[in-house]
Amino acid sequence: MTAIASNVQHSITEEVAEYAVSTSVEQIPPEVRERARLVIIDEMASACFGGRSIAGGLAARYAGGMGGTREARILGTDIQVPAPLAALANGTAGHGEEVDGAHVVGGHPGATIVNAAVAVAERQRATGADLLNAVVLGYDIGTRVVKACGGVFGVRDRLHLNSDFLYGLGAAVAGARLLGLDSTRHRYALALSTFQANGLFSLFAENRHISKSFGNGQYAAAGVNAALMAALGFEGSEDVIGAPNGVLDAWGVDGADDDVVGGLGDDFAVMTANFKFINAGYPIHAAVEAAMNVLAKQPADDIAAVHVGMPANAMRVVDNRDMHSICVQDMVSAAITLGGLSLRDVPFPAVLDNPVFQRIRHMITVDVDPELQRDQPNGRGARVTITHRNGASSSARVDAPRGHSSRGGATWEGLSQKWHDGLPECDVDRIISLGRGLDDLDDVSILTGAFRKTT
């Protein structure tokens, strides 16, 4: 592709774009490639699993009904649609059941970035190595932009926005890299994505987790559309990140420039991706794990009271929410009642009629834990204290739940167990095998086809 002459020199967006076009899988350290393989398989499996959600089902119906060129698969089905629609459907389903990965910066980059990259990779019949490189790149740019704008809580409190919309920029650069665009067209793709992705934080007031999930799908589609438009010849600001009235001018915090470009090529953001092992809002995971740690020492029928302590920001996300999967009181009560949670067996609404659940749910309280607030104000830790009928109490603190990057993330064995439980209708062994050998995969469509349901 012939490079386009540019009048912009040494801008932040140019630095990002020139870095993007220089990347290759050979330059990625082995441990980063391994983490990226795990992330890609987990996010694709989450999209397949999330097809059963209300949001995932609606998105598949919408995308499948639009017609168009058969470019990329809606995961878990035989439906193939144009790449932007596949990104929309899979990104929406990816977050539909709250089992997709999170990130230490905040939010859910994988549902957006991985599903955008997979859709473009399948369209281009790209290799697994190309997909790996694009996902690592997308995480690097997307998470840095979110950090530069203050992280998930900063974007929420200052701007009243859902910070995940900024992952659309990561999706755009991942798509542009898979399309082989030059530096200037990468900049155009970044600019074009900003026209198509946004989300007021008020979306969290919805009733059934549909628009929040759709947000991730829309941000994925925005990135794919932006890359394809840039490839076709659409233009945009050549420094949409750093220019006056650009991303950082509108939404950035002090030190934002360095947040965007600092450590590129050395500090890989995919290494701080976190994995989920239950389908619940991420601030709930540590609370469920802590409760299970306490329960290992006492039976549920001996409980007189349950108290959950959390950092204030985490508590605000999951305290007494109407949706069960993002309500810490509901999910901890269900976990105690059932002796744990699994992907295959959704506890709600059946558990609502369980008298043990009703008793536990009535006695559970949630509050800010002063020590966790001091140690990790933007963290996802929790402390659970269970009081026995005789007045004695037991407590457990979990600073980071299973699957958190500080605890090593996930292993192939862990993902295999997770998805054998969650996707019994799929050939999970084949999916895991393809994921472990992703660098050597000739065509990403082989991987997307492996998510077809066999039962």
Instruction: Give the residue from 243, 110, 130 showing the smallest Cα distance to 176.
Output: 130
Look at residue 8 and tell me whether its pLDDT is greater than 50: no
337: CATH = 3.30.1330.120
**Total number of domains constituting the chain:** 2
pLDDT in tens, 46-57: 999 999 999 999
Same structural domain for residues 413 and 443? yes
Same structural domain for residues 370 and 422? no
Provide the whole-model pTM.
Answer: 0.94
Look at residue 203 and tell me whether its pLDDT is greater than 50: yes
Same structural domain for residues 209 and 231? yes
Same structural domain for residues 239 and 293? no
- Name the E strands within 213-299: 273-274
Cα(425)–Cα(322) distance, rounded to whole angstroms? 30
Mean pLDDT of 285-294: 96
Same structural domain for residues 115 and 85? yes
Q: Which pLDDT does position 209 carry in this prediction?
A: 81
Same structural domain for residues 228 and 361? no
Same structural domain for residues 345 and 378? yes
Same structural domain for residues 319 and 427? no
Of the three residues 377, 398, 419, the one that is the final residue of a domain is 398
pLDDT in tens, 205-263: 787 888 899 999 999 999 999 999 999 999 999 999 999 999 999 999 988 889 999 99
Q: Would you place residue 2 in the very low, low, confident or very high pLDDT band (cuts 50, 70, 90)? A: very low
Average pLDDT over the chain, rounded to an integer = 94
Same structural domain for residues 127 and 233? yes
Q: Which pLDDT does position 3 carry in this prediction?
A: 42
**Domain residues for 336?**
282-398
Same structural domain for residues 315 and 267? no
**How many alpha carbons lie under 13 Å from residue 133 in its C-beta half-sphere?**
23
The answer to the question of residue 404 being in a domain is no
Q: Would you place residue 1 in the very low, low, confident or very high pLDDT band (cuts 50, 70, 90)? A: very low
Distance of CA 77 to the CA centre of its chain: 21
The answer to the question of residue 358 being in a domain is yes
Widest pairwise Cα distance in the chain: 77
Mean pLDDT of 344-354: 91
The answer to the question of residue 252 being in a domain is yes
Same structural domain for residues 440 and 386? no
240: CATH = 1.10.4100.10
Q: Which pLDDT does position 7 carry in this prediction?
A: 45
Same structural domain for residues 59 and 175? yes
Residue 352 burial (C-beta neighbours within 10 Å; 0-12, 13-18, 19+): middle
The answer to the question of residue 271 being in a domain is yes
The answer to the question of residue 368 being in a domain is yes
Q: Which pLDDT does position 6 carry in this prediction?
A: 43
The answer to the question of residue 5 being in a domain is no
Cα(98)–Cα(56) distance, rounded to whole angstroms? 11
The answer to the question of residue 2 being in a domain is no
Cα(249)–Cα(258) distance, rounded to whole angstroms? 14
The answer to the question of residue 1 being in a domain is no
